[in-house]
Copies of this chain bind each other. A is one copy, B any other.
């Protein structure tokens, strides 16, 4: 089976064209079947391609002058969906010119454009943004939603769980990934009514391709004991950023401590392989590639500050989700849930 090509918004991200093209080229060195539609300023793209001769035969350029700004309001960017590199990359997926789109640009604008162009899958009310976080275990943990939906009801959360589990099956190879709802305690009566309601529905639903383990508190996200953490976009954003900030805080403290005396500097040099291992494990580039789940198409958000390695990882995520039929898996799982009528049991469960 030949892999559909991947549309790259070459203009997004803090570093611009050079990093996006280098990232795509890096991904292609891993899997030479990758093909690309490179969207953006043609002279700049051609200049960047000059360093990667292997890319020329595998790429088509779609020229445009317009770019979505990093701080632009999504509503404003939406009006330029047909003229910007981001909009055209997403539109290529809609038209079937590409199987997936990757952008490192404005997250809100990418969400808005993707939703408008690709629409949600039947049975999915809202898409969600899912990211990967490092753990103490063998696999990354998937967390969603991370800001696409500020407020979510029980129905949304159940759908997010199904979407996240489909993604986790691809990522981990597990037939029943471990799914939990983020909450402020693990007892059944903790948290909002929507959380309790969603938990009751997931507990009651039979035959879902996941193991629903109830609630998880935010200090257990990275322990490697859960594969999918489901949450509303507000709490998810808070949790994700708190984790990122705390990890940076500890490594900053460590750097300060290591440079505080000659002895500790020597110790640092001796133990460098150990601290490099830590740095590697925490490097966001190694966990890059947030996915908009629930749409009629694969759209991957690369971090704005990702380097070429990070972009390559985001491209690889997009390719893997295409190869392993993410969309069809989600559709199948949602259909199965609706067929069994589990989506209608929410009102009949006694939550007292």
Contact = CB atoms under 8 A, between A and B. Distances in A.
Nearest to A273: B264
B242 A184 contact: no
Contacts of A135: 249
A217 interface: yes
A254 B147 CA distance: 30
B222 A246 contact: yes
B136 A253 contact: yes
A237 B235 CA distance: 10
Interface residues of A, number: 58
Contacts of A281: 253
A220 B242 CA distance: 8
Contacts of A342: none
Contacts of A52: none
Contact of A267 (B217, B235, B257, B268): B268
A219 B303 CA distance: 15
Interface in A127-170: 134-136, 147, 150-151
Contacts of A266: 270-271
A271 B263 CA distance: 7
A38 to B, nearest CB: 31
9 contacts: A136-B253, A150-B184, A150-B192, A223-B245, A243-B246, A245-B246, A257-B278, A268-B274, A270-B270
